[in-house]
Amino acid sequence: MDFLNHHVLSLLTFVPLLTAFAVLLSPSLGLARWVSMLGSLLTFLLSIHVWYYFDGQTSGLQFTEIHNWIPTFGIKYIMGVDGLNLLLVVLTAFLTPLILLSVWHLDGSKQKAFLALFMSLECGMLGSLVAFDLVFFYIFWEAMLIPMYFLIGIWGGKNRIYATSKFIIYTFAGSLLMLAAMIVLYILHFEQTGIYTTSLLDLYGAPPAYPTQMWLFAAFAIAFAIKVPVFPFHTWLPDAHTEAPTAGSVILAGVMLKLGTYGLVRFAIPLFPEAVVSYAPLIVGLGVIGIVYGALNAWMQTDAKRMVAYSSVSHLGFVVIGSFALIGGGAALSPEALTGAIYQQINHGISTGALFFLVGVIYERRHTRLLADFGGLAKVMPWFGVMLIVATLSSVGLPGTGGFVGEFLILLGTFMASPLAGSVASLGVLLGAIYMLTLCRKILFGPITHEENKNLSDLTPREFAYLTPLAILAIVMGVFPNLFLDKIRPSIENLANNYKSYKIVAEAPALNEAGDKRAEASR
Amino acid sequence: MNVTIPTLTSEFYGASLPVYSLCVGSVVAMLQGVSKRFGSDKAVLAVLLLSLFAALGGVFFGAPSVETSYLNGGYLVGDLGRVGQGLILGIALVVTLMFSATFLRRKFLRGEVASLFLMIVTGMAVMVASDDIITLFIGLELSSIGLYALVGYINPSRRSQEGAIKYFVLGAFATSLLLFGFALLYVATGTLRLSDMAQILPKLLDHNWVRLGVLFALSGLGFKLGLAPFHLWAPDTYEAAPTGITALMATAVKVMVLVVVVRFFAGSLGAVYDVWLPATMFLAMVSMIVGNVMALVQASVKRMLAYSSVAHSGYMAIALCALGGTSNDFPVAALLYYLIGYSIISLGAFSVLMWLENDQNDNLLIDDLAGLAKKHPWAAFAMAVFMFSFAGMPPTVGFMGKFFVFNAALSNQLYSLVIIGLVGSAISLFYYLRIIVRMYMSEPVRVAVPLVPNRSWLVCGIVGTAVVANLALGTLLPEQLLKSLVSTSQEVAAKKVKLAPVAKAH
């Protein structure tokens, strides 16, 4: 227990990587499947452990691990969770086994490589979520691109090479900007304090001077905005989603996009608080444009997957405006909106993940995703219909689903910050309902127009097994939001109220004292 | 100048063991060339390995603990020289082993070829460990002449001979530039020793011969380094040479020249940084742009790697520019880290190519790699690691090197260079990905020449080691390497001349 509490985040991050190696070395695909499933379940259990023992009374960094990594440059190995990343960690670990289940039936000579890449992708995502040192974070952030690149490029659709190259080059170019900004920040911090450090624990609360801050913030924000993606950096997303295999789309929409919004909240806002005040109108404006633009585009799509992809652009616009809702003349961020933004990330992961799964289900049966090829499926696939409706309703934010809680909190906070942005964003909610219900109607209802659709089989037990947890969670998150929000509230309030002089202290796990000293000593 | 006849101590023989053992090896190999009895490929390989290992032993165990100068500066051993010699010998060892395991084995393991090869290595080992312009020049010529010959001699064909002639003509021209530069510097300062030059130059700041001399010398060295606009020989020669020799040119030659340039910039020419800094910045920028853009449109893998090596020389020149700044002593450590990383990646990538080549196809096109992942998954995996590493993606040594170099540059306010470097990196990803796309995402297009590599444990071991070293230096071990490089860096920084008067003049 003692060991576990001090190394749980390292284990959480590197168990998937070890699993990836084990998968590569397994002699048969059957064994590789079980190995990857066990590895991902173990990771999920570890994440539940973190969630369960997470102390919801404090805003500090918990389960912290600090080691020296490259002391010559002051670079450290720091991992920790607080309220901002706790739920995302659990979401990542939760989605991975479901995705593995969704590809359980696929075989082929390369399937082992698929599983291995997927597990290393999980390592990259979890690592960048829990890393608390700029360079350490950057390694995971970039390394994550490599498995995703192969997932789209090898298992994708017709136009996959174009899509995957666009994806990786866009993201890589943005990240390079961030890398330069990181180095400048590091040098400026040295000039201010005489200490070489890339640790967030040290960099928080010592922002660089104002005009430089603007440049650095812009570099960080562009890198994250490409990942989110914020309009006008979104053009890679529909291509990547359309070409990616189902599993890739689910993880891309479910977790990878959230890393962009998480990065904005974790890095861009607290590191450069004064720049936030200047840029907030621009970012909120782009967020609102993204909401409406994404929604209108989604409405016009004829391909179900592209539609869900554009809906992501729209929904993540909400997360972005929620993260930048300044109140009191820039004195604080709206805690409601920020809470909503964090909560909405999880909701979007679950509802959009489910939608991509569902599109994958009918694509596997019919090998088409065009809405015109469907219609009346509710009669032949009733359970599929139930799942699709639950996912849709959660996605449009019907009260009683998680989406409602998130969007309501965001809009509440945004109205207080800027009534105009709030009103336009509300329009996005309306549009969201229109296009998502159109999707539902075109697939599920009306007469069966295509002969092939008459004999489609309903969900298999395996498909049930990975869709049901998502459906249940979508409703639980709507009915019992406090189950999730109670734990993360102190962290959010700390950031929202003190973002101008944000500080976070590393706390040891409550269960152990000795390890705390060890961590202190190695600092 | 008082010339004393140096007393040769046993310490000197220990310190110069690398050079001696290579010389002896070279002579023995030459004799083997005319002997039927001792001239078999195994015997030649034995001589090559023996002298390389003996030289490596000398680097690690023979050198004195502090930087020591022998023969009136003719031979200077310190951390920097040892790092250079160690790297060069390591590279030569890998190249030898790769040659011995691939289709050129019989052609490479001939007495005269081995003799020339060891002569090249001798020249390099001399050049990185000299404090004297004459010795330095002799080392350079020794290595260059061998290289000119080996480009065309090992596996003669019209193409390789054309490459050799191009390399020779342009190289001879560059050497004359260098020599002219050295002559001007000598006339102005009256000394051949680099460390004396450092003391004299601050008094001659506005001396036009000094300025001209520095620029001429820089052009000559820039040629050897493959910096644009002196890079025109690189693509043709890289393509024409047997791949093992290409690997040697891409790595060991860069090591040799960069070590010397570090000695110049940080030591002897430190005072006139206002001459070489703008010139080097220009070379770095042009190289990054030309290298990265031209690499985009290449069909041959070796040509693409040639342009990519021009771009990488540009990145390394960024670190050289940082030497002109006033900041800390990291630039040298950053440069050496990048250089070591780059050498590992290049050797790995060229080794994979050598492994795939055969006597029908010794100049692979990018299209030839199509479907490699299916046929040889491990070779494709290794190549993919090297390509991502070249592009500077974590978790590889390529990223760490780039991070340290940009760090050194930004500490010295070289913003424009870093911006071009970043843009170049983004462009470079595109052409490195082309190889990966071919290997993993497309079907074979040209089946006329199938890639049937031999399954040699030696090759697997070398490529595997390169992959592991690459990843380890990118994740677990950067501190270990960096620590030793920082001590080298401090040795160099200790010699840095105070720049205050020059700074005031501006």
Cα–Cα distance, A494 to B191 (Å, whole number): 67
Per-residue pLDDT at B47 exceeds 90: yes
Per-residue pLDDT at A293 exceeds 80: yes
Q: Count Cβ neighbours within 10 Å for each residue of B86-96 and write b for 16 or more, e otherwise.
A: bbbbbbbbbbb
pLDDT for residue B245: 93
Per-residue pLDDT at B446 exceeds 80: no
- Beta-carbon separation of A186 and B407 below 8 A: yes
Question: How does the average pLDDT of chain B come out, rounded?
Answer: 87
Query: Which carries the bigger pLDDT value, residue A111 or residue A89?
Result: A89
pLDDT for residue A206: 82
Per-residue pLDDT at B93 exceeds 90: yes
Choice among A298-302, B130-134, B190-194, B494-498 with the minimum mean pLDDT: B494-498
Per-residue pLDDT at B449 exceeds 80: no
Per-residue pLDDT at A135 exceeds 70: yes
Cα A441 to Cα A201, A445, B457: the distances in Å are 50, 5, 62
Query: Which carries the bigger pLDDT value, residue A3 or residue A12?
Result: A12
Per-residue pLDDT at A521 exceeds 50: no
Contact present, B131 and B69 (Cβ < 8 Å): yes
Per-residue pLDDT at A93 exceeds 70: yes
Mean of the pLDDT values across residues A441-460? 84
pLDDT for residue A458: 85
pLDDT for residue B73: 77
Contact present, A13 and A132 (Cβ < 8 Å): no
CA angle B51–B54–B57, rounded 5-degree value: 150
Per-residue pLDDT at A182 exceeds 60: yes
DSSP state of A506: B
A200-257 pLDDT, tens digit per residue, is 888 887 888 888 899 999 999 999 999 988 988 888 998 898 889 989 999 999 899 9
> Minimal CA–CA distance to A133: which of A330, A267, A325?
A267
Per-residue pLDDT at A454 exceeds 90: no
Substitution target from A70, A109, A175 for chain B, most B beta carbons within 10 A = A70
Mean of the pLDDT values across residues B115-121? 95
Choice among A72-81, B51-60, B159-168, B260-269 with the minimum mean pLDDT: B260-269
- Residue A506: φ, ψ to 5°: -85, 125
Q: Would an 8 Å CB–CB cutoff place A73 in contact with chain B?
A: yes
- Beta-carbon separation of A154 and B406 below 8 A: no
Q: Give start and end residues of each alpha helix (H) in B442-499.
A: 457-474, 478-494
Per-residue pLDDT at A511 exceeds 80: no
Choice among A197-206, A279-288, B426-435 with the minimum mean pLDDT: A197-206
pLDDT for residue A20: 92
Range from A231-240, B224-233, B309-318 that averages highest in pLDDT: B309-318
Predicted confidence band of residue B497 (pLDDT cuts 50, 70, 90): low
Per-residue pLDDT at A515 exceeds 60: no
Substitution target from B315, B419, B437 for chain A, most A beta carbons within 10 A = B437
Contact present, B485 and B83 (Cβ < 8 Å): yes
- Please tell me whether the peptide bond between A229 and the residue prior to it is cis, using omega within 30 degrees of 0: yes
Predicted confidence band of residue B123 (pLDDT cuts 50, 70, 90): very high
Other residues' Cβ atoms within 10 Å of the Cβ of residue B367: 15
Q: Would an 8 Å CB–CB cutoff place A25 in contact with chain B?
A: no
Predicted confidence band of residue A510 (pLDDT cuts 50, 70, 90): very low
Please report the DSSP string for A454-490 in residue order. GG-----HHHHHHHHHHHHHHHHHHH-HHHHHHHHHH
Predicted confidence band of residue B376 (pLDDT cuts 50, 70, 90): confident
- Beta-carbon separation of A146 and B393 below 8 A: yes
pLDDT for residue A118: 92
**Amino acid at site A244:** A
Per-residue pLDDT at B502 exceeds 50: no
B234-264 pLDDT, tens digit per residue, is 999 999 999 999 999 999 999 999 999 988 8
Percent of chain B with pLDDT over 70: 93
Predicted confidence band of residue B182 (pLDDT cuts 50, 70, 90): very high
pLDDT for residue B169: 93
Cα–Cα distance, A230 to A294 (Å, whole number): 10
Per-residue pLDDT at B1 exceeds 50: no
Question: How does the average pLDDT of chain A come out, rounded?
Answer: 88
The residues pairing with B193 across neighbouring beta strands, listed in sequence order, are B132
pLDDT for residue B198: 82
A42-68 pLDDT, tens digit per residue, is 999 999 999 988 888 888 888 888 888
Cα–Cα distance, B178 to A318 (Å, whole number): 63
Per-residue pLDDT at A287 exceeds 50: yes
- Beta-carbon separation of B440 and A143 below 8 A: no
Interface size A-B, in CB pairs within 8 Å, comes to 79
Per-residue pLDDT at A517 exceeds 60: no
**Strand-strand pairing, A326-327 and A332-333:** antiparallel
- Beta-carbon separation of B419 and A161 below 8 A: no
pLDDT for residue A156: 84
Residues of chain A found within 8 Å of residue B419, distances taken between Cβ atoms:
180
pLDDT for residue B282: 94
pLDDT for residue A208: 86
**Strand-strand pairing, A75-81 and A62-70:** antiparallel
Cα–Cα distance, A1 to A56 (Å, whole number): 20
Mean of the pLDDT values across residues A130-136? 92
Predicted confidence band of residue B173 (pLDDT cuts 50, 70, 90): very high
Helices (H) and strands (E) in chain A, counts: 23, 4
Q: Would an 8 Å CB–CB cutoff place A166 in contact with chain B?
A: no
pLDDT for residue A62: 87
A466-476 pLDDT, tens digit per residue, is 999 999 999 99
pLDDT for residue B6: 60
Predicted confidence band of residue B3 (pLDDT cuts 50, 70, 90): low
- Beta-carbon separation of A154 and B425 below 8 A: no
Of how many residues is chain B composed? 506
Q: In chain B, which residues touch A (CB < 8 A)?
A: 333, 374, 388, 391, 393-395, 399, 403-404, 406-407, 410-411, 418-419, 422, 425-426, 429-430, 433, 437, 440-442, 475, 478-479, 482-483, 486
Mean of the pLDDT values across residues B270-277? 82
Chain A residue closest in CA terms to B381:
A113
The residues pairing with B70 across neighbouring beta strands, listed in sequence order, are B75
Contact present, A443 and A371 (Cβ < 8 Å): yes
pLDDT for residue B358: 82
Cα A339 to Cα A268, A324, A344, A481: the distances in Å are 17, 12, 8, 11
